[in-house]
């Protein structure tokens, strides 16, 4: 349910112009959207992609950026009904939205939808039925993106059973459940949180302010009284440990509630920030960093919400109601929106990143002898690539795990023979840690593994998927291409990737803003394939730099930013 006073919100991932100017640690203006309504929501995919959903009463309006916020494009909404009150974007093309059941969010037979083609078409996933449904949030876990929930107010009215659909396969299938009702209460827009398959919940909208949550996947539910002023729990966020959390109401600032026992009990605390008005709170996964918004100001905590510091926002900022963030390595990217459609953006740097224990794939044969423990998470993207989130390995002194007669992939669609130089270390990993894909021979029944090479020793994690053919994975590029470096901004090193469809003489050089050459990374004849180079900018000062790839008649230049 939306708050009865106007509220809207959004955050989307950091605009390219922030990167260009190398601003970090402060909020700046990041454009605007129009006709977005009073209660918009935001979802952030990566450093380039974010979605906003809302609209005036009765009309769906959805925006997307794929260039880091430089431009916002309004998407087609054919097949959607009513304005939207929640959004979750899985990629630049896949997004979920939910409505409020009736014009103005008055409640009704609320519906939630998915698009797999960037809004060209939308498919209804489910509807609540009843006369009081209102989708408050569609949220996926950031540590295990296969898990997500779509939550609605009780379709039969306050105090009746809630609507909650859950997916454990990344949105392919959804299972509807009915958490028990709470007398006199519905739930609160954008208060949904999901940490793992068994740990999720949402805020209620009736006094006293409470969080309603489960720690066993919905088998049972419990209530956590917050001890704050107000009734509408506008934000709830938990650390990956499922113990430490923060909650706020739309009128509790500068006070928040904090828990250290998984939401069973909460203690009210004054943030000392002077923030006021409707509030939202977000926890950056794998860290102790939290962000808190008021109506016209922002604050940040780096010690799990114990102490807070106000952040710089553009002059005249007002009407902030919701925000969202993405973390890529040590880079935090965010956006926020006001109820007039103004967009704010943030790029920030965090330290001490350690992801929670959540290994989605089992250990491969023989690896049990070598890995004492693993923290972090893995998940597969259609078996064609594997995303690795902040893995930290603890090793035993065991004999090496031998991997004979295998083909390796150092990156998507790149074939690497055993005598090929090692791929660069994964971003955020120690220099001696390299991630490589391993494909066992066997045609359609082959197994795709992830191998980790540390100081010459292999350790294997095996995801449960079966790629359909080696030939497709190993195809050569069909065009010249220079990719955006990652991470960006960076300190002190970044990876530059490019592809060559044919054998050619190649140069890759770096220039400062005055056009002076500061580094030559490649100056040689290279064969076709997918290439990557690590650029170490330790000797360079903070600022904007340009890297240029020349190969035959192909020339392309991209911008990157060094921060200290």
The phi and psi torsions of 372 (rounded to 5 degrees) equal -80, -40
What mean pLDDT is reported for the chain? Answer: 77
Bridge partners for 191 per DSSP:
none
Counts of helices then strands in the chain (DSSP H, E): 2, 43
pLDDT > 90? residue 376 = no
Structure-block tokens of residue 387: 């995303």
Q: Which residues contact 563 (CB under 8 A, 6 or more apart)?
A: 22, 24, 349, 489, 490, 491, 542
The residue-averaged pLDDT of 196-215 equals 96
What is the fold of 16-231+322-349?
Answer: Neuraminidase (2.120.10)
Q: How confident is the model at residue 476 (pLDDT cuts 50, 70, 90)?
A: low
The phi and psi torsions of 19 (rounded to 5 degrees) equal -55, -40
pLDDT at 218: 96
pLDDT at 532: 80
Q: Is 384 exposed, middle or buried (0-12, 13-18, 19+ CB in 10 A)?
A: middle
CA-to-CA dists, residue 78 to 55, 103, 115, angstroms: 14, 17, 11
pLDDT > 90? residue 435 = no
Q: What angle do CA 26, 32, 33 make, to 5 degrees?
A: 140
**What are 88-125's pLDDT values in tens digits?**
999 899 999 999 999 999 999 999 999 999 999 999 99
Of the candidate CATH numbers 2.60.40.1930, 2.40.30.10, 3.30.390.50, 3.90.1150.10, the domain formed by 481-562 belongs to 2.60.40.1930
The phi and psi torsions of 367 (rounded to 5 degrees) equal -70, -25
Tokens 């909460």 locate to 266
Q: How far apart, in whole angstroms, are the C-alpha atoms of residue 383 and residue 338?
A: 39
Instruction: Give 394 or 166, the one with higher predicted confidence.
Output: 166
Instruction: Give 450 or 473, the one with higher predicted confidence.
Output: 450
Tokens 């109506």 locate to 295
Same fold, 16-231+322-349 and 481-562: no
**What are 51-74's pLDDT values in tens digits?**
999 999 999 999 998 887 789 999
CB 361 within 8 A of CB 451: no
CB 233 within 8 A of CB 188: yes
Least confident of 1-10, 188-197, 274-283, 383-392: 383-392
Q: How far apart, in whole angstroms, are the C-alpha atoms of residue 343 and residue 324?
A: 12
pLDDT at 514: 80
Provide the pairing of β-strand 245-248 with 255-259. antiparallel
Q: How far apart, in whole angstroms, are the C-alpha atoms of residue 22 and residue 331?
A: 12
CB 284 within 8 A of CB 326: no
Domain ranges of the chain: 16-231+322-349, 362-473, 481-562
Provide the pairing of β-strand 385-395 with 371-381. antiparallel
Q: How confident is the model at residue 352 (pLDDT cuts 50, 70, 90)?
A: low
DSSP string, 193-224: EEEETTEEEEE-SSSSPEEEEESSTTSS-EEE
Q: What is the largest CA-CA distance in the chain?
A: 73
**DSSP run (H or E) holding 470:** helix 470-473
The residue-averaged pLDDT of 320-325 equals 90
Alpha helices by DSSP H, 43-183: none
Query: Phi-psi bin for 359: left (phi > 0), alpha (psi -120 to 50), beta?
Result: beta
Sheet of strand 298-301, all strands in order from the earlier edge strand to the far edge: 280-283, 290-293, 298-301, 309-311
* Among 408, 312, 8, 324, CA closest to 140: 324
**What are 515-553's pLDDT values in tens digits?**
889 999 999 888 777 788 889 998 999 888 999 999 988
CA-to-CA dists, residue 406 to 20, 110, 395, angstroms: 42, 52, 23
Structure-block tokens of residue 241: 């440990």
Q: How far apart, in whole angstroms, are the C-alpha atoms of residue 361 and residue 459?
A: 13
Bridge partners for 395 per DSSP:
371
Query: Phi-psi bin for 146: left (phi > 0), alpha (psi -120 to 50), beta?
Result: alpha
**What are 4-59's pLDDT values in tens digits?**
543 332 223 333 333 334 455 788 888 899 999 999 999 988 777 889 999 999 99
Bridge partners for 258 per DSSP:
246, 267
CB 20 within 8 A of CB 333: no
The percent of residues above 90 in pLDDT, for the chain, comes to 49
């Amino acid at each position: 349910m939306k708050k009865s006073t106007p509220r809207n919100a959004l955050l989307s991932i950091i605009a390219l112009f922030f990167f260009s100017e190398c601003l970090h640690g402060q909020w700046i203006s990041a454009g605007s959207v129009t006709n977005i309504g009073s209660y918009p929501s935001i979802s952030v995919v990566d450093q380039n992609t974010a979605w906003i959903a809302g609209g005036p009463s009765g009309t769906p309006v959805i925006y997307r950026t794929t260039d880091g916020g430089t431009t916002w494009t309004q998407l087609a909404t054919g097949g959607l009904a009513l304005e939207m009150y929640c959004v979750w974007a899985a990629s630049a093309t896949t997004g979920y939205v939910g409505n409020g059941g009736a014009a103005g969010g008055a409640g009704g037979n609320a519906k939630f939808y998915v698009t797999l083609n960037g809004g060209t078409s939308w498919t209804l996933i489910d509807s609540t039925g009843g006369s009081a449904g209102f989708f408050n949030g569609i949220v996926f876990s950031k540590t295990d993106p296969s898990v997500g929930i779509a939550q609605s107010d009780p379709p039969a009215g306050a105090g009746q059973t809630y609507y909650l659909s859950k997916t454990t396969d990344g949105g392919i299938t959804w299972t509807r459940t009915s958490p028990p009702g709470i007398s006199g209460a519905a739930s609160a827009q954008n208060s949904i949180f999901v940490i793992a398959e068994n740990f999720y919940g949402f805020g209620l909208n009736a006094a006293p302010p409470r969080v309603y949550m489960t720690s066993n996947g919905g088998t049972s539910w419990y209530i956590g009284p917050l001890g704050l002023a107000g009734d509408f729990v506008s934000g709830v966020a938990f650390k990956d440990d499922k113990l430490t959390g923060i909650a706020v109401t739309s009128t509790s600032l500068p006070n928040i509630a904090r828990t250290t026992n998984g939401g069973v009990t909460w203690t009210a605390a004054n943030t000392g920030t002077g923030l006021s008005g409707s509030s939202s709170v977000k926890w950056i996964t794998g860290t102790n960093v939290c962000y808190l918004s008021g109506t016209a100001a922002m604050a940040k905590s780096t010690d799990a919400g114990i102490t807070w510091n106000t952040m710089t926002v553009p002059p005249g900022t007002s009407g902030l109601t919701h925000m969202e963030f993405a973390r890529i390595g040590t880079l935090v990217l965010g956006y926020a929106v006001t109820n007039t459609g103004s967009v704010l953006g943030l790029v920030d740097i965090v330290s001490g990143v350690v992801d929670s224990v959540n290994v989605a794939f089992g250990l491969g044969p023989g690896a049990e002898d070598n890995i004492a423990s693993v923290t972090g998470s893995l998940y597969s993207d259609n078996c064609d690539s594997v995303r690795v989130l902040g893995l930290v390995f603890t090793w035993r002194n065991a004999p090496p795990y031998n991997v004979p007669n295998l083909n390796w992939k150092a990156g998507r669609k790149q074939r690497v023979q055993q005598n090929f130089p090692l791929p660069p270390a994964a971003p955020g990993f120690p220099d001696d840690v390299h991630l490589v894909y391993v494909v066992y021979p066997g045609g359609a029944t082959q197994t795709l593994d992830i191998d980790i090479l540390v100081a010459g020793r292999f350790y294997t994690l095996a995801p449960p998927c079966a790629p359909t053919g080696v030939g497709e994975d190993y195809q050569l590029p069909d065009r010249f291409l220079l990719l955006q470096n990652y991470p960006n901004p960076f300190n002190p090193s970044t990876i530059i990737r490019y592809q060559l469809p044919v054998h050619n003489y190649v140069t890759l050089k770096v220039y400062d803003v005055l056009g002076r050459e500061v580094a030559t990374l490649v100056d040689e004849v290279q064969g076709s394939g997918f290439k990557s180079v690590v650029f170490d900018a330790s000797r360079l000062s903070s600022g904007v730099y340009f890297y240029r790839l020349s190969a035959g008649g192909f020339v392309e230049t991209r911008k990157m930013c060094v921060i200290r």
